A and B are shown apart, each in its own frame.
Chain A
């Protein structure tokens, strides 16, 4: 029922938008009609012009996401296990989190050149922090009694990490991954604004140059759909992991 009302709302908004554009005679440069956007999107997909950009942005998103998550998780785990190192580095971790990562784009272009590498690195940097923070939070917030239990049982440090801390903090770490996948797409698209010649973000900049507002809207829809797709995949994987945790794989 809720789905039906939500869909009905969307249809209503689209109809109002179409009629509004039609009746007001506003220029498609300012606001294209939904029908025109759909047509542009369809043409782009059928002719194959959009697919290569979709592919590039998708690859950048996933590569940056994987890189940022793995490094964020590993460094988070190291800092959580070494409180003295964490206290030493924490102010810098916090400071670096506040730095607008996209503002580093120009430097990355100087270092790594114009193109995919720079975009992947910007994306990885954006994904790095939610994983770092959630890993540290999760691993450090295991209840004292359970840690005492493992001490009483003579568990080694590695056993405590693998068999108590990681499974306990798994939901928090997975929440970080869910945040990261959304940020990854933002990172890739906006990274392309700065450093890309291919991809959906670069196409938006190109379309802006050609004053092709309709194409910008079409790209916008494509990016949204891709984001939803990635997010759903992560949610499914998350559910699988939490289930397998309960079956004793961890």
Chain B
């Protein structure tokens, strides 16, 4: 989902996650209505939101430890996720010893440790520098491909939306105004960003956003 700041992307996502109650209407994931936070939905926030008194590995295991005890296979899985995220060597560090990008990687691993069927992400990379953001986008692609999770990703960055997405929803004034299919092949890699077709898709999304603004 792309749109300008304040167009309702985050609100929409929080309603879908069950964090906010809709003022009217209802939301369904599959066939089941959403009436509150569910463990089938993972959520990645705008900030990494790690607990600073836990090590990285304990932060990743937090969703499991809140549900009961952590066993060996959970730990092994958490370490695999950290390896895919490229920070396995930092597992015993504390968040304050990590850079912003590394914290975002840990937050990603945490959101996938329960293997949720749906993952919702609210501009998780917005605060990172351009190169780190590109790295994190590739990490996300790898993690999601390994887990088969459906991702709803909110961003205001058109390039990010086109690089990550299969379908882009353009939002404006609280409404979804356009839908753009992204027919780029997978697996995707960084060079894709400089291809003509990628630029064409980005332009299409951009003009959809401008059109949406005109309608308001």
- Given A148-B43, A246-B94, A248-B58, residue A153 in contact with residue B66 (CB < 8 A): yes
Enumerate chain B residues within 8 angstroms of A245, measured Cβ to Cβ: 53
Enumerate chain A residues within 8 angstroms of B39, measured Cβ to Cβ: 153-154
Q: How far does the alpha carbon of A146 sit from the alpha carbon of B94 in the complex, in Å?
A: 17
**Residues 62-111 of A at the B interface (beta carbon under 8 Å):** none
Does A209 reach chain B (CB closer than 8 Å)? no
Please, which residue of chain B has its CB at the minimum distance from the CB of A149?
Answer: B49
A145 touches B49 (CB 8 A): yes
Does A152 reach chain B (CB closer than 8 Å)? yes
Pick from A149, A150, A155, A248 the residue with the most CB of B within 10 Å.
Answer: A149
A152 touches B53 (CB 8 A): no
B51 touches A143 (CB 8 A): no
Enumerate chain A residues within 8 angstroms of B38, measured Cβ to Cβ: 154
Does B41 reach chain A (CB closer than 8 Å)? yes
- Given A146-B49, A167-B53, residue A153 in contact with residue B17 (CB < 8 A): no
Pick from B41, B54, B55, B66 the residue with the most CB of A within 10 Å.
Answer: B66
Enumerate chain B residues within 8 angstroms of A145, measured Cβ to Cβ: 45-47, 49
A152 touches B49 (CB 8 A): no
Enumerate chain A residues within 8 angstroms of B67, measured Cβ to Cβ: 153-154
Does A240 reach chain B (CB closer than 8 Å)? no
Q: Contacting A246 at CB < 8 Å: which of B17, B19, B53?
A: B53
A154 touches B51 (CB 8 A): no
- By secondary structure, the A interface counts as helix
Tally of chain B residues near chain A (CB < 8 A): 23
**Residues 106-150 of A at the B interface (beta carbon under 8 Å):** 143, 145-146, 148-150
Does A163 reach chain B (CB closer than 8 Å)? yes
Does A151 reach chain B (CB closer than 8 Å)? yes
A167 touches B51 (CB 8 A): yes
Write the nearest CB–CB distance from A209 to chain B, whole angstroms: 54
Write the nearest CB–CB distance from B154 to chain A, whole angstroms: 14
Does B2 reach chain A (CB closer than 8 Å)? no
B19 touches A148 (CB 8 A): yes
Chain A, interface size: which category?
A: 20 to 34
Write the nearest CB–CB distance from A171 to chain B, whole angstroms: 10
**Residues 45-84 of B at the A interface (beta carbon under 8 Å):** 45-47, 49, 51, 53-55, 58, 62-63, 66-67
B37 touches A248 (CB 8 A): no
A248 touches B54 (CB 8 A): yes
Does A159 reach chain B (CB closer than 8 Å)? yes
Does A250 reach chain B (CB closer than 8 Å)? yes
Pick from B39, B43, B55 the residue with the most CB of A within 10 Å.
Answer: B43
Write the nearest CB–CB distance from A167 to chain B, whole angstroms: 5
Does A182 reach chain B (CB closer than 8 Å)? no
Q: Contacting A154 at CB < 8 Å: which of B14, B37, B46, B47?
A: B37
A154 touches B66 (CB 8 A): yes
Write the nearest CB–CB distance from B193 to chain A, whole angstroms: 30
Does A226 reach chain B (CB closer than 8 Å)? no
Q: How far does the alpha carbon of A150 sit from the alpha carbon of B59 in the complex, in Å?
A: 12
Q: How far does the alpha carbon of A154 sit from the alpha carbon of B45 in the complex, in Å?
A: 16
Write the nearest CB–CB distance from B136 to chain A, whole angstroms: 18
Does A36 reach chain B (CB closer than 8 Å)? no
Enumerate chain B residues within 8 angstroms of A153, measured Cβ to Cβ: 37, 39, 62-63, 66-67
B51 touches A164 (CB 8 A): yes
Chain B positions near chain A (C-beta within 8 angstroms): 14, 17, 19, 37-39, 41-43, 45-47, 49, 51, 53-55, 58, 62-63, 66-67, 94
The 6 tightest CB contacts between A and B, nearest first, are A145-B45, A152-B43, A145-B49, A245-B53, A152-B37, A153-B63
Given contacts A153-B37, A164-B51, 16 further A-B contacts (CB under 8 A): A148-B14, A149-B43, A151-B37, A152-B17, A153-B63, A153-B66, A154-B39, A154-B66, A159-B66, A167-B51, A167-B53, A245-B53, A246-B53, A248-B54, A248-B58, A250-B53
